[in-house]
Amino acid sequence: MTFFTPFVDTRLRSSKSELDLRAPLLSQLRKGFAVRWLRTIVLISLDAAALYLAWQVIRTYITSVNPLWNSQQNLLVLVIVAIEIGLIAALGFYTSGQKRRDYLSLIKTLTFSHVFLFLVFSPQPTNFISLSAFIPSWLLSISLTCVTRFGIDNAIKYVRKQGLVCYPAFLICRPEDKKKAIDTIGVEKCYSLLGWADINSLVAERDDLDATIEDIYRLGIAEVFVCSWSLINRRMLLYWKLRNAGITLHILPVDLEIIDRKSELRMLCGLPTFKFSPPLVTGSDFWIKRCFDFCFAASFVIVAAPVYLFIALLIKLDSPGPVFYKQTRIGLHGRQFGLWKFRTMVVNADQLQKDLEASNEMKDGVLFKVKNDPRITPIGKFLRRYSLDELPQLLNVILGEMSLVGPRPLPIRDVEKFAQQHFIRHEVLPGVTGLWQVSGRSDITNFDEVINLDVSYMESWSLLLDLQILLKTIAVVLGKEGAY
């Protein structure tokens, strides 16, 4: 919200010696000030109402001492709510961005505040926070606060989808960085990009900075994002002009690839640095994942044993040959292992592949994919359609050669065509399913897209992500998406 019309400083045309960027002729509030404060006031009001309601419920239904409150007890509740709100605010839960949606940290904060309040007020004569009231008040405060926050977050998302209460933004970057910058800005879902400028027009030879600033003023921009900040010729002029117009400036390092989400921003000599600390017990992630894989795979094989026997019988009745097909694949650290599948092709399928290489639908030829492959048996089409041919790979998981989720292990023929950057996928256990499988499977015809999905999975791994991929795999398989 702006109280004055943005002032375009015509003194740019005058002598630079007369220009003092620190002293604009008119003062104004920062752009987007009203939206930020309105959001903060709403969040504080909702949190306070939720916490007050929680204590009121405890007073009415739990606390047996002094059932009819007096003014002293009402004042005590207000003090308790004020303390909790102050602690929530001090830890940054009313700031913009992802912090206010960090429900786990919010729960920890409310837990700490309740323990603190219990230690402080339980010895008091009012006996308001008794041991019998502590746990119900803790659970109710957490529940009501998280529910109200979740509700307001979804309401804000809905309103912003309608194009309302978004911050008007402007992007300055190189053309080749434009898509990545827009995708990065779009993650927050709170910006409306109204314009952009090619940063090459702001270098010393061309320097159209004045025209760019006028465009920013004309569009009523609240926040400006700049990539490759050092390329701009008059950087400080841009900074001060935006500053005096109440416009927030973001330096967006789109060329910086964050390799771990568990990072910490630190300042070093005035420059931002990302700190990546190893866990207290290194290597624990592997063993957590391995235990989960083994328990899940072993349990599934035992429960689904009749299904395995039924599929084996169908394969035997369908075509001559063995029930299982074992193929050498490349796994962790480039080691070879035998991957097990239910046989879905004729016995001499490997020899026939050479005659089908010309029909390969993968653009770079690294993988081999052909629709309506003539080598597939009738029952094999059904098994592939629902990925039932992959079930024996749970034996590979039990043996520790594979994981439930990870980059798909590829045959020697495919690995021999790898470029250097492709071998990164061999640094983790291969998986029965992965981001590739739930993101299009055979519909992806560019191997670099496969690598990008594998690397994305490796960067952001968590047990929760594995569970999400497993659940999505079930949906993809039932929907027969991208399988042939």
Contacts of range 302-306, beta carbons closer than 8 Å, 24 or more positions apart = 304/391
Q: Which band of pLDDT confidence, cut at 50, 70 and 90, is reported for residue 358? A: low
Q: What is the C-alpha to C-alpha distance for residues 42 and 94, in angstroms, rounded to an integer?
A: 10
Task: With a cut of 60, say whether residue 437 has pLDDT above it.
Answer: yes
Q: For the residues of 108-155, what is the DSSP string, one character each?
A: HHHHHHHHHHHHHHTTSTT--S-HHHHHHHHHHHHHHHHHHHHHHHHH
The residue whose two tokens read 């490796």 is 458
Both 183 and 308 in one domain: the answer is no
Q: What is the C-alpha to C-alpha distance for residues 250 and 157, in angstroms, rounded to an integer?
A: 22
Could you report the per-residue pLDDT of 270-294, keeping only the tens digit for each?
A: 777 777 666 666 677 888 889 999 9
Q: What is the C-alpha to C-alpha distance for residues 452 and 295, in angstroms, rounded to an integer?
A: 29
Domain range enclosing 56: 33-161
**What is the tally of structural domains in the chain?**
3
Could you report the per-residue pLDDT of 12-26, keeping only the tens digit for each?
A: 343 444 556 555 555
- Residue 67: the pLDDT is 41
Both 235 and 305 in one domain: the answer is no
Assigned token pair, 20: 């003092």
Within-domain flag for 403: yes
Work out whether strand 271-275 and strand 264-268 pair parallel, antiparallel, or are unpaired. Answer: antiparallel
Choosing from 256, 276, 303, the residue where a domain stops is 256
pTM of the model: 0.56
Which residues, 6+ apart, have CB-to-CB distance to 48 below 8 Å? 81, 85
Higher pLDDT, 103 or 339: 339
Query: Looking at the DSSP assignment, which residues form a beta bridge with residue 197?
Result: 172
Choosing from 115, 134, 161, the residue where a domain stops is 161
Both 41 and 106 in one domain: the answer is yes
CATH (domain of 184): 3.40.50.10700
Strand order in the sheet with 336-342: 336-342, 324-330, 410-411
Within-domain flag for 99: yes
CB 431 within 8 A of CB 402: yes
Burial category of 69 from C-beta neighbours within 10 Å (exposed 0-12, middle 13-18, buried 19 and up): middle
Q: What is the C-alpha to C-alpha distance for residues 226 and 168, in angstroms, rounded to an integer?
A: 15
Higher pLDDT, 199 or 476: 199
Task: With a cut of 90, say whether residue 340 has pLDDT above it.
Answer: yes
Both 377 and 334 in one domain: the answer is yes
Q: What is the C-alpha to C-alpha distance for residues 151 and 164, in angstroms, rounded to an integer?
A: 17
| Secondary structure percentages of the chain, helix, strand, coil, to 5 | 55, 10, 35
Poorest-pLDDT segment among 7-11, 108-112, 188-192, 302-306: 7-11
Which residues, 6+ apart, have CB-to-CB distance to 429 below 8 Å? 331, 332, 401, 402, 403, 406
Within-domain flag for 266: no
Both 60 and 16 in one domain: the answer is no
Give me the numbers of helices (H) and strands (E) for the chain, helices first please: 16, 11
Both 203 and 298 in one domain: the answer is no
Q: What is the C-alpha to C-alpha distance for residues 209 and 203, in angstroms, rounded to an integer?
A: 9
Higher pLDDT, 154 or 172: 172
Q: What is the C-alpha to C-alpha distance for residues 20 and 243, in angstroms, rounded to an integer?
A: 13
- Residue 68: the pLDDT is 39
Both 75 and 92 in one domain: the answer is yes
Q: Which band of pLDDT confidence, cut at 50, 70 and 90, is reported for residue 99? A: confident
Query: Looking at the DSSP assignment, which residues form a beta bridge with residue 324?
Result: 342
Within-domain flag for 276: no
Which residues, 6+ apart, have CB-to-CB distance to 249 below 8 Å? 223, 224, 226, 238, 239, 242, 243
Amino acid (one-letter) located at 363: K
Burial category of 16 from C-beta neighbours within 10 Å (exposed 0-12, middle 13-18, buried 19 and up): exposed
Both 174 and 207 in one domain: the answer is yes
Within-domain flag for 484: no
Q: What is the C-alpha to C-alpha distance for residues 428 and 424, in angstroms, rounded to an integer?
A: 8
The sign of the CA dihedral 203, 206, 207, 209 is negative
Within-domain flag for 1: no
Both 228 and 350 in one domain: the answer is no
Within-domain flag for 148: yes
Mean pLDDT, residues 361-388 taken together: 76
Q: For the residues of 446-478, what is the DSSP string, one character each?
A: -HHHHHHHHHHHHHT--HHHHHHHHHHHHHHHH
Both 252 and 370 in one domain: the answer is no
Higher pLDDT, 364 or 335: 335
Work out whether strand 324-330 and strand 271-275 pair parallel, antiparallel, or are unpaired. Answer: unpaired
The 10 Å Cβ neighbour count of residue 443 is: 11
Within-domain flag for 370: yes
The residue whose two tokens read 């981001």 is 435
Both 201 and 295 in one domain: the answer is no
**Averaged pLDDT score across all residues of the chain:** 79
Both 244 and 328 in one domain: the answer is no
Choosing from 138, 161, 184, the residue where a domain stops is 161
Could you report the per-residue pLDDT of 228-267, keeping only the tens digit for each?
A: 888 888 888 888 888 888 888 888 887 766 555 666 777 7
